[in-house]
């Protein structure tokens, strides 16, 4: 399932454009590849990131994977619930399993992201 109202990266992050911010998570495809998520390392609120920077580390029973900033901006919110319930990423990757909210620095970077059709093609759906 690839929601049509989101944007995507080639490294399997999803982006929901909100009012001056973007909410970021990992796609259903990515969480299935990871397996059961057991730990999430979140950034500090206020951290400034550039597009492509590592912003979150997700550890599963299989591996540890980096989650990359889909755009440049400042972390304005992190999903603290994942600290005690990291498996939420597996159960609801597009809802309660979101990772961070970024304040958009350059709206033009959003144009570099994939729409749902391009992302489905990338993952072979």
Whether 24 is in a domain gets the answer yes
* pTM of the predicted model as reported, rounded to 2 decimal places: 0.95
Q: CA 95 to CA 78: how far, in whole Å? A: 14
pLDDT tens digits for range 83-120? 999 999 999 999 999 999 999 999 999 999 999 999 99
pLDDT at res. 37: 98
Residue 1 lies in a domain: no
Number of domains the chain contains: 1
Cβ atoms within 10 Å, residue 98: 22
* Confidence check: pLDDT of 1 > 90: no
Domain that holds residue 89: 7-106
Q: What is the pLDDT of residue 5?
A: 96
Residue 96's domain is classified under what CATH number? 2.40.50.100
Give just the sign of the alpha carbon dihedral 82, 41, 33, 6: positive
Asked if residue 114 belongs to a domain, the reply is: no
The pLDDT tens digits for 8-65 are 999 999 999 999 999 999 999 999 999 999 999 999 999 999 999 999 999 999 889 9
Could you identify the residue written with the tokens 């759906």?
125
Q: Is residue 116 part of a domain?
A: no
Query: Residue 41 domain-assigned?
Result: yes
Whether 118 maps to a domain, the answer reads no
The answer to whether position 76 is within a domain reads yes
pLDDT tens-digit readout, 60-70: 998 899 999 99
């Amino acid at each position: 399932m690839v929601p049509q109202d989101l944007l995507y990266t080639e490294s399997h992050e999803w982006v929901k454009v909100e009012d001056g911010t973007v909410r970021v998570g990992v796609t259903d495809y990515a969480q299935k590849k990871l397996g059961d998520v057991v730990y999430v390392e979140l950034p500090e609120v206020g951290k400034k990131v550039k597009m492509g920077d590592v912003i979150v580390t997700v550890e599963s029973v299989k591996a540890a994977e980096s989650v990359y900033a889909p755009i440049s901006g400042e972390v304005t919110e992190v999903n603290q619930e994942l600290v005690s319930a990291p498996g939420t990423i597996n159960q609801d990757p597009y809802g309660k399993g979101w990772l961070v909210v970024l304040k958009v620095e350059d709206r033009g970077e959003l144009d570099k992201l994939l729409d749902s059709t391009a992302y489905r093609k990338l993952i072979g759906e």
